[in-house]
């Protein structure tokens, strides 16, 4: 099927076995889909959950899936399972996605956040280094923290100068708030594991690539509270706003929705990861920003655009009051803080892999909200009508 695949330098690509840890999550599910549909590679999928990749593991009707012999699911918790080392030994490449990565957890479950993002990743790095296995590790754009520009006076013209806000892998500092702002527990743990991986590369020759995703969004991201996740749970912004739209509730703008983000479509971002997988000579030893600098909005603008797009895909008029303001303390609790602005510099990924994002924010929201409406609208209607029926 995939015969004739060549890398960016024209060399044939050999089929490999990939141990993907966290394969059952949002990014993992899209990456598994892509690898199985478009490449000859095998996937050893490791996770505690498999719901998001069920369609890749079990045929919906009779007959078998075309990639049935190229994916195996291993249900295990990497915290405490001796099978992990064996799986790493069986693979040519290890991709580590496993993490707690929802901001609502960083200040309310800081210990779990630090353990998940640092301590639990340690054995993965160690086994890769000891067994000379290549590692692609998922870090985060949160590693940059706040921009230098946000510390300048509000009216300073330097705030408009990209040198004060564009985030560069090899030049920007990591600027976190004080320890009592436990929001930064995640970024700090991710930073330390990046430094450890980098040091393993420098001192012990570990072949690694570090990925810093900038707000990848799309279908299957997180959960809709009360439908496929806890009713009190707080997922990331795409799922929070989708949930509000599906339930015809105003979208909640934390601290006025002034923070800025750049959103990239998951399918664009997955193309970048596949280039890393298949071009080790160009990807090893590098840290890559993966985002879409052209898709910048404030959270308020995101809310307005999602409201418009959802009205189009659901054919329901928007609410008279589509948004409400809420304080971060009320929404996330004590210890929350925020990144002000996140624009990725794309020089390194462009130079090494020739990758560029393609999808506009409007288009990616249209396909994602079409999916959300199709997947959840009926279930939400039922959930809402239940108490009245009882």
Ligand X SMILES: O=C(O)[C@H]1O[C@H](OP(=O)(O)OP(=O)(O)OC[C@H]2O[C@@H](n3ccc(=O)[nH]c3=O)[C@H](O)[C@@H]2O)[C@H](O)[C@@H](O)[C@@H]1O
Ligand Y SMILES: NC(=O)c1ccc[n+]([C@@H]2O[C@H](COP(=O)([O-])OP(=O)(O)OC[C@H]3O[C@@H](n4cnc5c(N)ncnc54)[C@H](O)[C@@H]3O)[C@@H](O)[C@H]2O)c1
49 binds, among ligand X, ligand Y, none (CB under 5 to 8 A by kind): ligand Y
- 219-226 contacts: CB < 8 A, separation 24 or more? 219/266, 219/367, 219/368, 219/371, 219/372, 219/375, 220/26, 220/29, 220/30, 220/52, 221/26, 221/266, 221/368, 222/26, 222/102, 224/372, 224/376, 224/379, 224/380, 226/383
Q: Which stretch binds ligand X (CB under 6 A): 1-9, 247-255, 274-282, 309-317?
A: 247-255
**Residue from 33, 105, 120, 142 binding ligand X (CB under 6 A):** 142
Q: Would you state the structure tokens that stand for residue 5, as one six-digit string?
A: 């695949």
CB 273 within 8 A of CB 31: yes
Q: Which is nearer to ligand Y, 114 or 322 (CB)?
A: 114
Residue with the CB atom nearest ligand Y in the bound state: 25
How far apart CA 379 and CA 254 sit, in angstroms, is 27
The set of residues, in sequence order, having a beta carbon less than 8 Å from that of 234 and lying 6+ positions away, is: 102, 104, 225, 240, 331, 332
**224 counts as binding ligand Y under rule CB under 6 A:** no
Alpha-carbon distance 203 to 58, whole Å? 43
Choosing from 106, 127, 186, 332, the catalytic residue is 186
Question: CB 190 → ligand X: shortest distance, Å?
Answer: 8
Question: Are the beta carbons of 136 and 66 closer than 8 angstroms?
Answer: no
CB under 5 to 8 A by kind: which of ligand Y, ligand X, none does 259 bind? ligand X
Residue 376 found at the interface with ligand X (CB under 6 A): no
Is 85 a binder of ligand X (CB under 6 A)?
no
Q: Pick out residues in 30-59 that bind ligand Y (CB under 6 A).
A: 47-49
Rule CB under 6 A: choose which of 197, 240, 287, 306 binds ligand X.
Answer: 240
Q: Which of residues 96-125 bind ligand Y (CB under 6 A)?
A: 97-99, 101, 116, 120
Q: Is 146 in the site for ligand X (CB under 6 A)?
A: no
Beta carbon of residue 5, minimum distance to ligand X (angstroms, whole number): 30
Does residue 214 touch ligand X according to CB under 6 A? yes
Binding mask 71-90 for ligand Y (x = CB under 6 A): ------xxx-----------
The residues, ordered by sequence, that sit 6+ positions from 295 with a Cβ below 8 Å of its Cβ are 262, 263, 264, 357, 360, 361, 364
Nearer to ligand X, 87 or 221 (CB): 221
In the complex, least distance from residue 233 CB atom to ligand X, rounded to whole angstroms: 12
Residue 254 binds ligand X (CB under 6 A):
yes
Nearest to 30 by CA among 218, 211, 276: 218
* Strand bridging mode 251-254 / 323-326: parallel
Q: Return the number of other C-beta atoms located less than 10 Å from residue 186's C-beta.
A: 26
Applying CB under 6 A, what is the total number of residues that bind ligand Y?
Answer: 23
Shortest Cβ distance from residue 202 to ligand X (Å)? 25
Which of 213, 257, 293, 335 contacts ligand Y by CB under 6 A? 213
332 is catalytic: no
Write the DSSP assignment of 182-221 as a string of letters. Answer: GGGHHHHHHHHHHHHHHHHHHHH---EEEEEE--EE-TT-
CA torsion angle 22 211 372 18 (round to 10)? -40
Q: With CB cut-offs between 5 and 8 Å by kind, which of ligand X, ligand Y, none does residue 345 bind?
A: none
With CB cut-offs between 5 and 8 Å by kind, which of ligand X, ligand Y, none does residue 149 bind?
Answer: none
Please list the active-site residues: 186
**What is the binding site for ligand Y (CB under 6 A)?**
22, 24-28, 47-49, 77-79, 97-99, 101, 116, 120, 138, 140, 213, 215-216
């Amino acid at each position: 099927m995939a015969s004739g695949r060549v890398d960016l330098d024209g060399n044939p690509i050999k089929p490999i076995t990939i141990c993907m840890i966290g394969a059952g999550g949002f990014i993992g599910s899209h990456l598994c889909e892509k690898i199985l549909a478009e490449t000859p590679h095998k996937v050893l999928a490791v996770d505690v959950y498999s719901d998001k990749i069920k369609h890749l593991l079990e045929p919906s009707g009779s007959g078998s899936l075309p990639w049935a012999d190229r994916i195996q699911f291993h249900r295990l918790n990497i915290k405490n399972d001796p099978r992990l080392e064996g799986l790493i030994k069986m693979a040519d490449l290890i991709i580590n996605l496993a993490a707690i990565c929802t901001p609502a957890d960083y200040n309310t479950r800081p210990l779990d956040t630090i353990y998940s993002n640092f301590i639990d990743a340690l054995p993965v790095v160690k086994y890769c280094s000891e067994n000379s296995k290549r590692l692609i590790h998922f870090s985060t754009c949160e590693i940059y923290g706040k921009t230098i520009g946000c510390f300048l006076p509000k009216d300073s013209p330097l705030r408009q100068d990209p040198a004060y806000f564009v985030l560069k892998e090899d030049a920007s500092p990591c600027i976190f708030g004080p320890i009592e702002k436990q929001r930064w527990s995640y970024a700090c743990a991710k930073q330390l594991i990046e430094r450890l991986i980098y040091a393993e590369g420098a001192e012990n020759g570990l072949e690694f690539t570090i990925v810093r995703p900038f707000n990848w969004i799309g279908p299957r991201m997180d959960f809709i509270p009360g439908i496929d996740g806890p009713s009190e749970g707080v997922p990331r912004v795409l799922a929070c706003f989708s949930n509000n739209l599906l339930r015809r509730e105003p979208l909640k703008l934390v601290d006025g929705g002034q923070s800025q983000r750049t959103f990239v479509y998951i399918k664009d971002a997955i193309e970048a990861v596949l280039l890393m997988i298949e071009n080790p000579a160009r990807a090893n030893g590098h840290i890559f920003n993966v985002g879409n600098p052209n898709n910048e909005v404030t959270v308020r603008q995101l809310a307005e655009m999602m409201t418009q797009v959802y009205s189009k895909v659901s054919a329901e008029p928007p609410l008279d009051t589509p948004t409400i303001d809420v304080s971060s303390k009320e929404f996330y609790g004590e210890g929350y803080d925020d990144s002000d602005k996140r624009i990725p510099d794309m020089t390194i990924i462009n130079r090494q892999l020739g990758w560029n994002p393609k999808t506009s924010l409007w288009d990616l929201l249209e396909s994602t909200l079409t999916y959300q409406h199709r997947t959840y609208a009926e279930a939400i209607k039922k959930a809402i009508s239940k108490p009245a029926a009882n």
